[in-house]
Amino acid sequence: MKKLQKIIAIWTCFMIIPGFVLPDIAFSITTAEEEELTAEFLFYTFENYKIIDDPVIVEYVNKVGQKLLSQMPPQPFRYHFYVINQESYNAFAGPAGHIFVNSGLMEAMESEDELAGIIGHEISHVNCRHISDMIERSKITGMATLAGVAAGILLGIGGASEAASAVTVGSLAAGQSVSLAYSRENEMQADQVGLKYIEKAGYDVAGLLNILKKIRNKTWYGSDQIPTYLVTHPATEDRISYISSWLQSRKPPISDTEKMPNYDFETTHSRILALYTEKSMALAKLKNSMKQDPKDPYAQYAYGLFLSRSGDRKNAVVHLKKSLEKRPFDQVFIRDLGQTYFLDGQYDLALKFLESSATIPHFDPEGELYLARTLKELKRPDEAIQRYQELLAQRPQFSKANYYLGEILGEMGKMGDAHFHLGVYYKQERNFKTAIFHLNKAVENLTDPEKKKSAQSMLGVVIKQQEDLPGNMYNN
């Protein structure tokens, strides 16, 4: 089956505009070897960069990615989409379908079309096995070394990221490092493949053109601000010219005035700006948005989130209430007002809004988490525990629920269960040393034979994961 998927992926890359000369393709590693490389690559990535785990943002980016993938033939990998909390303009595809977009690049976007353009391009790099081609050109044989260098190059290069430089220093000569950037042929091929599927998924291809122009314009701020994207994704001017010509040959795009509002994009963009953008920059942009249109519910919402982030919860509530006046049934708006009341210590009001949010059919893990935390503060621990357990039944990978469930169980004296959930939490956070401590304590204290067996099994897995870390080093 994997062989068939690989053949389909290669064939897809040949299904492009006539007259384009394809580069020589040399697949030096198999899909299985690329997947093996992934564990090392993700280790370096997660060690050096903060991955945003905001469910609203994560679910939205994954929804856009899956919408694009639904228009493509079977892929050789299962795709994963991440947002890195970093200001620099960057997006890249790691080995085996792991695709990353920086929060700074998302903040610069003005539509879902722009996000779909970037993600579609990165998916096409994976689909055409360009990662494998880069590895072949790099002439590296050490998988662990390659993973570290690839993470450093793709995440940041030449001063664009201190963490990335730290990953790459001492691993490769500069000339070899550059070979891990895409070739011009890779870039053009990824555009030609990607444009078809971006359009097929219902997106305006002009979105990719718009965001490429923004990335290019960033170079005006000085050489130390050159986006990593321009280093690892060369031929930007050629790509802009090609996409412009491609658009001219198509039917006229839908004008901005004819487009329906995209509430998911607006909510996600508001959260990126208010919660994950450098504070002074975020405040300046939010004040400008409020000045331009004080009645815009998303301007009010974003400003309310920013004030809550800054600790001014009283005024945050004022602006979040104004956003709800325009969108009274918006689950995320309702949830965030409840969360703000919780953080302000107004638990009765928090409960009112969080319970209201929970009645909306769409499952909201963050809302459920804060509802359980509110019930705990209101001295209703049994209800809180039930909420945590129901949340984990729906979202077992939502690590924060394991942490708070472990905390409340510990306060109730249920030490075996408390250590078990804390062990799971630290395992999910890749803090294996602390996970081993809690899982050992769970094995000592649990009386339920099935749960004890589960803890022992998980302990074995975590010990193996720790041993497999590069350099066999503990997480701290």
Please tell me the predicted confidence (pLDDT) of residue 318.
98
**Percentage of the chain lying above the pLDDT 70 cut:** 78
> pLDDT for 137-157, tens place per residue?
655 545 555 555 555 555 553
Looking at residues 20-45, what average pLDDT do you find? 65
Judge whether 151 lies within some domain. Answer: yes
Q: How many other CB atoms sit within 10 Å of the CB of residue 437?
A: 15
pLDDT of 307 > 70? The answer is yes
Judge whether 65 lies within some domain. Answer: yes
Domain tally for the chain?
Answer: 1
Residues paired with 100 in a beta bridge = 82, 92
d(CA 139, CA 157): 19
Judge whether 253 lies within some domain. Answer: no
Please tell me the predicted confidence (pLDDT) of residue 253.
60
Judge whether 76 lies within some domain. Answer: yes
Residues paired with 81 in a beta bridge = 99
Task: List the single range of 59-68, 195-204, 255-264, 360-369 with lowest mean pLDDT.
Answer: 255-264
pLDDT of 135 > 70? The answer is no
Judge whether 30 lies within some domain. Answer: yes
Please tell me the predicted confidence (pLDDT) of residue 254.
59
For residue 313, name the pLDDT band (cuts at 50, 70, 90): very high
> pLDDT for 456-470, tens place per residue?
999 999 999 888 776
Task: List the single range of 341-345, 379-383, 472-476 with lowest mean pLDDT.
Answer: 472-476
Looking at residues 31-45, what average pLDDT do you find? 78
Phi first, then psi, for residue 132 (nearest 5°) are: -60, -40
Judge whether 313 lies within some domain. Answer: no
Q: How many other CB atoms sit within 10 Å of the CB of residue 320?
A: 26
Judge whether 210 lies within some domain. Answer: yes
DSSP state of 51: B
- Expressed as residue numbers, the domain containing 119 is 2-248
Judge whether 11 lies within some domain. Answer: yes
Under 8 Å between Cβ of 329 and 263: no
Long-range CB contact pairs, 62-70, < 8 A, 24+: 63/264, 64/112, 64/115, 64/116, 64/119, 65/99, 65/119, 65/123, 67/116, 67/201, 67/202, 68/116, 68/119, 68/120, 68/123, 68/197, 68/198, 68/201, 69/123, 70/201
